[in-house]
Chains A and B, each alone.
Chain A
């Protein structure tokens, strides 16, 4: 064993100590996750004693430097928390700020247009982010490749399909947000300038192909081999009775709690642990919970369009999925949903008699002192914001709870259980399945430190 360990230390950059039947597995820098994190596992006589997900991405102190800034800057500043899901931060920020501002009576078609186009913009981010994860970060694990570029050497058409899907998601963001990373067109109240009719038509033309390619993606990923691993998760997501949730709804738990975003802090708590720069969130005193695509799917299956339900059933999914290794299928179903929803919105809006192209569309808001709360569904799960501002619109305090810090405890719990289930595997194979168990959550470490390396210790 010691010889094997020494060999692995050399080839795998993992450090091991082997004494008293203890083994330690470490991965110092997890690959194919967004941001910096590490994993450490301690195994004593084939029993997993400790599993830690260490987020060492340095803290950036967003909540500390927001006070003193203008409320209108919130969507631009908070976008910088994450280059992969800036739209999510912008959406939570603008909805929280709009809850504070007093709203002059507005034409209902303006309100409904802004609501629809914000959903459309968010669909673009779900597509871009989910496709990045499915094709470039997660699928290579299932197929035994180091990355999508190596995958492309054997399966060029598949990788090209993924790249084209991702490009369409980015084009949706560009069309309504101005640019794909840190969009500039989102303002408190609405949009600075909406795209021209020509730009909307050009986008619409691509959505049919996208829908078809999304169906092919579901078929592709549902044929992968999945670890047998089902857990009794406490799913937490937005729930909206009429639509699959993006920007609106109540926060719902599987155990039956249903609250407005305003009451989040009374039920969910953030804790600071020594091994990580991300705050851990708990439900109640000490309960782990699960946010993200599987949680949304659990609470909102009924609101999915018929085509998505059919595709889910064809892929072998029931109305709930409890195996995080299968989250890749749920993500693919959400990609199909995003295409369906984007097409529906764009067609409806373009047929509307209300003229909105190529001009500013925003609510007429008056700033006042107050506290605003919002929760929206980032690609990785629930993203909660709270701001307090004064009568001039100066931010007095900000609190942001990103999805990955909420999932951190459940990821650690999964790592421990997956490790126990695979404890007879050699360190290299064990390490690999644990990395996969982490990638199941598409963790966004940059977000979580407002986070991966693998470290396995076997004693």
Chain B
């Protein structure tokens, strides 16, 4: 008893206890102060940041207000100072806290060391029973622990939040538009797939620009361009550009009102001054593409922009100035999740060629795939067609007609059959691809069992009549038609390529023909639309005048025609 009392009265013990008490109080004080400081930081800084954000918004609306700009600068600097001062305080406080905790633990250990633990020698029980029971208990609890661990693992697998989705599941595709939906709209140059065939037969055949008969509306287009309108439900899109401005426009299909216009930026590039842009091509020759959720456009300078259909810019991509003789003109197309760019540039063929076909993600603009093309620069547009069990991308550029897998962009087959400056796009009918070599020939390529280089095996026929240099052909199961710029409509048998007729028609044509049931619509440069029959003999059914110059292919959609004139866009429909 005396010994214990002596121990508690010893200076050493009392010093240890004293230090422990002081350290404990100090620890609590430091901890509380830190907690208060941290709370103040957490409450104060975000509130002041919000104020700063508000000021920044005001500055956006009033960019010339220098006082506001200076205030933003000062507030921002002050906030940063406060933030870092606060963090410095927390860091130093933490160090102090650790030191006081160490002191506290050390002093307690010192105090405790004054009465070391004595051996605890209690009488032993039945050692045999204890041993057996101990081993059994260990096995049982260990087994339970293992079972719990396994159950935990299985629970994790079954109930943990999903961190993984396969690329092609429904969640992933819901953001994208299936091809079947695309085929019911006019989403690309020359309509679904780019074939120049309209599914709707209720297209008007009578109108007059001068009197306004059946002209639903006419709206001026803010910027020039030769690209065609594309249509999705009640929205009509087209683009326009000059040397220093490029825009996407969205019009209301019912009223013609310009709903929004979106700028696609032009990066500073000294090469832009050297761009070869023919007047006939212009800065906005490429037709945009829409999937009903987004609209994507590309311009002569290789600048691409994608907007939501409501006009919010999603992304931009700049490929750089294309090496193109007359100005870049390939329209965009799309397949499911990808926007497809036919980037045919330069003058080298084969491995040296700079051309490529690019698949970009609709939502982000990321490159999903990219395939080198062994071709020189061209002005044709890719078409997306359903062949057999899958979709293929058909392209034409000297010297090849090449088909690619629309999903992966990998080359499926090619035919070496065209030369020159290719502007006409490839089309397909009756399992045959039709491609035009300007002025010289029309070629039919069999798509059945085509793989690799099929030049020797799959060219079905060639017709060397006078062929167009700009307009793409159009075809049904029986005939294929070509339209020469100077006004010569050629008709050929799909089966063997034999001439059916060649008809001179009045007018000059840059817009490719469109097939609607048993009628064909041919839009002349002077704005006259010829409607001709699709029989074995030429028959002009109607001619409607618009009264404005037209270069772009019209868009046809459920009872309407949308025609881009040089200055304005027109909607034509029955009943007005």
Task: Decide whether A and B are members of one complex.
Answer: no
A interface residues, Cβ below 8 angstroms from B = none
